[in-house]
Amino acid sequence: MKKVIITGGLGFIGSNLINILKNKYFIINIDKVTYASNFNNINPYIKNYRFYKADINDKIFIKNILKKYNPSIIFNLAAETHVDRSIDGPEKFIKSNILGVFNLLESIRNYQKKIKLIHISTDEVYGDVKKNYKSKEEDAYRPSSPYSATKASGDLLIKSYIRTYKIPAIITNCCNNFGPNQYPEKLIPTIIYNILNQKPIPIYGKGQNIREWIYVEDHCDALIRIAEDGIIGENYNIGSGVLLNNIDIAKKIIFAIKKIIHHSNIISKIKLVRDRPGHDLRYSLNSTKIKNQLKWECKSSFKERINETIVWYINKFKTNHFKNDDFKYRTGLKI
């Protein structure tokens, strides 16, 4: 059984990827256990699995783990991801998203055997895009927030190591994910939680910011296809083609929750709040490359998957899956 390392495996996308790969690979999950990590995201009884609490900046640990397991693939999902938090305090983002990537690259470079690195990045590196335009893999990076700037920096480091040191790496740039295991500070879980608790739904600015949305399992499916069939040195956009502004997302979730819980008395209202600094208006990805080269495309229906996601959160909010403090942070919103 081939061995793969998943960094950040207690987080949102990482835990979903583990749950999909668990019967195909021996999985080494490396997570430094931050506020957004959750042991409840992983089935404690899965086989062919090892967990290590560690930081990807720990050079000795990474060196020893590569030597011990000789993995064929590293999926790098270890990152600070919340834009609002990057505005409040960029330092952690620089350490994880730039220095952490640098340490992984150096560890791979100094290792005696080839390891394929699949680095998970974001559509935010392309910056604000005009109406009717979709970002292409060859487009210049124009990040707007400390978060996207650190992700762009990590991407560029990897590209330099591919060219200079022939590191076998692939970069993926995905649109906004939704689905189970997402930390509650993000937009969709926040909307669901506030509706269920009869609180106002805070939306930045005028609510017209447009994002492309993909169900997390579709993203994971694309990552696996890229790991198995992707071309070394390339980068791939992963998108769904589903673009919605934030007000529409909130309205769709309000409508869905009313139908799901058969309760027409939902009184949560959308509350427009002061916009965050440097807020990009629109992201949209051109995903032609992955469709043509790897024959991959998003299969999920947004409507079906958002309903499943709502039901998942309704059930998890009733248990101890999340801690009370998980719902209190969203810069400028003061939930």
Comparing 108 with 321, which gets the higher pLDDT?
Answer: 108
Task: Please identify which of the residues 31, 55, 80, 124 carries the catalytic annotation.
Answer: 124
Q: Is residue 289 part of a domain?
A: no
With pLDDT > 70 as the criterion, what percentage of the chain qualifies?
96
Asked about 185 being catalytic, the answer comes back as: no
Q: Is residue 332 part of a domain?
A: no
CA distance 150 to 122: 11
Q: Is residue 286 part of a domain?
A: no
What pLDDT was estimated at residue 324? 57
- What's at 16, amino acid-wise? N
The chain-wide mean pLDDT, for the chain, equals 94
> How many CA atoms lie less than 13 Å away from 130 in the CB half-sphere?
1
Output b/e per residue, 26-39; b: 16+ Cβ within 10 A: bbbbbbbeeebbbe
| Residue 231 and residue 156 in one domain | yes
Q: Is residue 88 part of a domain?
A: yes
Task: Please identify which of the residues 147, 161, 183, 193 carries the catalytic annotation.
Answer: 147
| Residue 191 and residue 306 in one domain | yes
pLDDT band per the 50, 70, 90 thresholds, residue 334: very low
Asked about 236 being catalytic, the answer comes back as: no
Q: Is residue 44 part of a domain?
A: yes
CA distance 136 to 219: 18
Asked about 218 being catalytic, the answer comes back as: no
The tokens of 74 are what?
């590293």
Q: For residue 93, give its domain range.
A: 3-178+215-238
| Residue 49 and residue 117 in one domain | yes
CATH number at residue 206: 3.90.25.10
CATH number at residue 71: 3.40.50.720
| Residue 165 and residue 225 in one domain | yes
Q: Is residue 294 part of a domain?
A: no
What pLDDT was estimated at residue 325? 58
Q: Is residue 116 part of a domain?
A: yes
How many domains are there within the chain? 2
| Residue 252 and residue 316 in one domain | yes
Q: Is residue 290 part of a domain?
A: no
Mean pLDDT across 185-205? 93
| Residue 156 and residue 275 in one domain | no
The tokens of 53 are what?
């609490």
CA distance 327 to 200: 14
What pLDDT was estimated at residue 319? 83
| Residue 166 and residue 199 in one domain | no
The tokens of 158 are what?
């990897």
What pLDDT was estimated at residue 326? 55
Mean pLDDT across 99-115? 96
| Residue 112 and residue 149 in one domain | yes
pLDDT tens across 111-143, in order? 989 999 999 999 999 999 999 999 999 999 999
Distances (CA, A) of 222 to 26, 120, 225, 290, 296: 19, 11, 5, 8, 7
| Residue 219 and residue 206 in one domain | no
Task: Please identify which of the residues 123, 212, 217, 218 carries the catalytic annotation.
Answer: 123
| Residue 225 and residue 115 in one domain | yes
What pLDDT was estimated at residue 118? 98
What pLDDT was estimated at residue 44? 84
The tokens of 11 are what?
């987080």
| Residue 9 and residue 54 in one domain | yes
Q: Of 169, 292, 306, 290, give the one whose Cα is nearest residue 238.
A: 290
Q: Is the pLDDT of residue 233 over 90?
A: yes
| Residue 128 and residue 249 in one domain | no
